[in-house]
Amino acid sequence: MDLFPSFTGKQKVSPLDRPLPKVSVNAFAFLFSELVQYCHSKVYTVPKLQK
């Protein structure tokens, strides 16, 4: 699995051709929690939070 073409006729393999790795639910939950906490720290009223 070479990243660069060789003289043997092999095609170049790109990282973009590979399937995306699956993100674990725990990692997604952690990032979502951090995002919610960040938004709460920037907003001081409920109407602004709802926007």
- Is 80 exceeded by the pLDDT of residue 1? no
pLDDT tens string 9-31: 567 777 677 776 777 888 899 99
Q: What phi and psi values does residue 12 have, to the nearest 5 degrees?
A: -70, 135
Tell which residue, 29, 32, 1, has the closest CA to residue 15.
1
Q: How far apart are CA 48 and CA 43, in angstroms?
A: 6
pTM higher than 0.75, yes or no? no
